[in-house]
């Protein structure tokens, strides 16, 4: 029993030691270069026969995997020899149960050791096959790399030959180009010398020309200085004459302002005046009111004059704005009529704080008139607007006269069949249309000599006057009125049309 256990342990150790030569041999084979003969005949490495493990070669009597090892006690004959005394029946029967238990334990250990040895043999065979397979791959890789190296060597040899040929060709081209450059450089140096000589000659000519130009320039500078001196003298004389004429063409004394401009029938008008000529239309109120504000901002001590030369009236909206500005002005606003003031201009004259007129000036009042279009209701609405403006503009005139609006309207038609009641200024004073009759006007705003020139554009008539083809009559087309506005305009000959 002890011998069987020893034999199994020896067999296991021999199997383990047989693995190390195979592993080292495989590693050495992978590191060593493959011989030429092996490269030429790679098929000699493969074989149909599997290598025999070393342990198997050393111990051929080792039992195979199919047969289990037999214990030494089993191999011995059970029949006792003649020399061995036969024990009695009672001792054998007593020792038999004691010997059977250890023998069973030994058999189990032997079986386990045998199975371990078989497992190691199988792993050994597997490792050997793997190492042989790796060695074959390494040999094939070496052959492939050897072929690639040869191919690279052939390509490098060919490329080197091409580069040598290219180098020779470039050297020849460089030599030829160098010769050409030397010839070109020689030609350029010759040309440079010629140009340098030409430049020197031209520089000398330029210097001579420059001296001539300097001489001529000096003469011209002298003449210019002489002329400038004469011009300065003439300009001084002209400036003196212009200043003298300017001095003589204006009033060279302080401006005159009077708090009471009307003295002994003479009215003195300062430069604080606003001219109101032509029809009153869109923009007139802005012109007049702006100047009233300006003169108020300048000073409120002296009066402002609205001078009417010839004004047939016009927009009631524009006229209403002018009346409001006159009433709200901090400085007094007086109206002066020289020739004709009708309709809206007559209302402005009558309702002014003070109004002055020459004896032959004409003042004309009539009803507010307008043109309406549309149906019956629209006509009534337009008539209502006219009545409202009459209450706002004509009623104050009637109140100043001390009569009613209806009486004022009746008197218009008593004095004229079409309702245009006009009076000269000396008669208009009785109706309080004008405050004072003046015999003379002294306008101190004319501080410069009037210049004779073409007739100026009055801003409306010169631009808008047209000829009526059928009747060959001249007329002026009035601008379109804004909503709620009407014309309070004296227009007997239909000169103003809209």
The better pLDDT of the pair 261, 29 is held by 261
**What pLDDT band is residue 90 in, cutting at 50, 70 and 90?**
very low
pLDDT in the model for residue 270: 92
Q: Is residue 423 part of a domain?
A: yes
The domain that holds 488 is classified in CATH as 3.90.226.10
Q: How confident is the model at residue 1, as a pLDDT?
A: 54
Listing from the earlier edge strand, what are the strands of the sheet with 262-263? 262-263, 266-269, 440-443
Whole-angstrom Cα Rg for the chain: 72
Q: Which of 137, 158, 190 is the last residue of a domain?
A: 190
Confidence of residue 489 (pLDDT cuts 50, 70, 90): confident
Quick one: average pLDDT of 474-493? 74
- The pTM of the full predicted model, rounded to 2 decimals, is 0.50
Residues in the chain: 498
Please indicate, yes or no, whether residues 274 and 407 belong to a single structural domain of this protein.
yes
For residues 154-173, average pLDDT: 93
Average pLDDT over all residues of the chain: 80
The residue from 128, 163, 190 where one domain ends is 190
- The reply to whether 174 and 41 lie within a common domain is yes
- Higher model confidence: residue 226 or residue 96? 226
Confidence of residue 263 (pLDDT cuts 50, 70, 90): confident
Q: In the structure, what pLDDT confidence band is assigned to residue 81 with cuts at 50, 70 and 90? A: very low
Q: Which domain holds residue 161?
A: 1-73+104-190
Would you call 196 exposed, middle or buried from its count of C-beta atoms within 10 A (0-12, 13-18, 19+)? exposed
233 assigned to some structural domain: no
Q: Are residues 384 and 483 in the same domain?
A: yes
Q: Is residue 21 included in any domain, yes or no?
A: yes
Q: What is the pLDDT of residues 300-343, one digit of tens each?
A: 999 999 999 999 999 999 999 999 999 999 999 999 999 999 99
Decide which of 190, 224, 243 is a domain's last residue: 190
Whether residue 267 sits in one domain with residue 158: no
Question: In this structure, what DSSP letter does residue 315 have?
Answer: E
- Residue 247: pLDDT band by 50, 70, 90 thresholds? confident
Mean pLDDT for 273-280 is 93
* Count of beta carbons in the 10 Å neighbourhood of residue 395: 14
The answer to whether residue 169 is domain-embedded is yes
Query: What pLDDT score does 317 carry?
Result: 94
Q: Do 124 and 22 meet the contact criterion of CB atoms below 8 Å apart?
A: yes
What confidence score (pLDDT) does residue 104 get?
A: 75
Mean pLDDT of 416-426: 91
- Percent of the chain with pLDDT strictly greater than 70: 75
Residue 455 has pLDDT above 80, yes or no: no
Angle at 495 between CA 492 and CA 498, to 5 degrees: 105
Q: Kindly state whether residue 250 falls inside one of the protein's structural domains.
A: no
346 vs 92, higher pLDDT? 346
Structure confidence at residue 265 as a pLDDT band (50, 70, 90) = confident
Residue 47 has pLDDT above 80, yes or no: no
Residues 169-212 have pLDDT tens digits of 999 999 999 999 999 999 999 999 999 999 999 999 999 999 99
**Structure tokens given for 159:** 């490329």
What pLDDT, on a 0 to 100 scale, did the predictor assign at position 460? Answer: 47
CB 284 within 8 A of CB 489: no
Domain count within the chain? 2
Q: Which two tokens stand for residue 303?
A: 């009066």
From 113, 160, 112, 105, select the one nearest 9 (Cα to Cα): 113
Q: Select the more confidently predicted residue: 51 or 417.
A: 417
78 domain-assigned: no
- Are residue 155 and residue 276 in the same domain, yes or no? no
């Amino acid at each position: 029993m002890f011998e069987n256990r020893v034999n199994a342990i020896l067999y296991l150790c021999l199997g383990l030691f047989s693995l190390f030569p195979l592993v080292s041999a495989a590693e050495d084979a992978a590191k060593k270069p493959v011989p030429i003969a092996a490269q030429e005949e790679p098929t000699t490495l493969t074989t149909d026969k599997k290598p025999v493990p070393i342990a198997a070669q050393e111990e051929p009597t080792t039992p195979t995997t199919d047969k289990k090892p037999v214990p030494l006690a089993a191999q011995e004959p059970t029949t006792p020899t003649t020399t061995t005394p036969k024990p009695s029946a009672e001792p054998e029967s007593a020792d038999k149960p004691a010997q059977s238990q250890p023998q069973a334990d030994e058999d189990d250990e032997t079986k386990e050791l045998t199975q371990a040895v078989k497992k190691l043999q199988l792993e050994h065979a597997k490792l050997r096959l793997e190492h042989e397979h790796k060695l074959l791959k390494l040999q094939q890789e070496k052959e492939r790399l050897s072929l690639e190296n040869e191919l690279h060597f052939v390509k490098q040899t060919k490329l080197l030959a091409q580069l040598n040929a290219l180098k020779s060709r470039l050297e020849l081209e460089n030599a030829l180009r160098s010769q050409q450059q030397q010839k070109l450089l020689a030609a350029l140096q010759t040309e440079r010398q010629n140009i340098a000589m030409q430049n020197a000659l031209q520089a000398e000519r330029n210097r001579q020309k420059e001296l001539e130009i300097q001489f001529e320039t000096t003469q011209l500078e002298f003449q210019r200085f002489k002329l400038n001196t004469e011009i300065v003298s003439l300009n001084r004389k002209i400036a003196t004459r212009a200043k003298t004429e300017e001095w003589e063409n204006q009033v060279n004394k302080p401006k005159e302002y009077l708090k009471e401009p009307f003295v002994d029938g003479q009215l003195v008008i300062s430069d604080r005046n606003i001219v109101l000529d032509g029809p009153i239309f869109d923009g007139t109120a802005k012109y007049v009111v702006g100047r009233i504000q300006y003169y108020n901002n300048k000073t409120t001590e002296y009066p402002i004059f609205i001078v009417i030369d010839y004004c047939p009236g016009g927009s009631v909206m524009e006229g209403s704005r002018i009346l409001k500005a006159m009433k709200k002005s901090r400085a007094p606003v007086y109206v002066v009529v020289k020739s004709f003031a009708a309709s809206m201009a007559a209302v402005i004259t009558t309702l002014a704080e003070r109004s002055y007129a020459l004896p032959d000036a004409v003042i004309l009042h009539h009803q507010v008139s307008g043109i309406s279009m549309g149906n019956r209701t629209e006509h009534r609405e337009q008539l209502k607007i006219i009545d409202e403006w009459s209450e706002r503009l004509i009623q104050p005139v009637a109140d100043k006269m001390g009569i009613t609006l209806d009486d004022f309207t009746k008197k218009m038609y008593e004095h004229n069949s079409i309702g245009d009641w006009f009076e000269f200024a000396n008669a208009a004073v009785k109706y309080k249309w004008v405050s004072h009759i003046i015999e003379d006007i002294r306008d101190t705003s004319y501080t410069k000599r009037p210049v004779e020139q073409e007739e100026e554009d009055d801003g409306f008539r010169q631009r808008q006057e047209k000829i009526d083809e059928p009747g060959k009559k001249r007329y002026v087309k009035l601008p379109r009125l804004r909503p709620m506005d009407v014309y309070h305009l004296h227009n007997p000959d239909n000169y103003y049309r809209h």
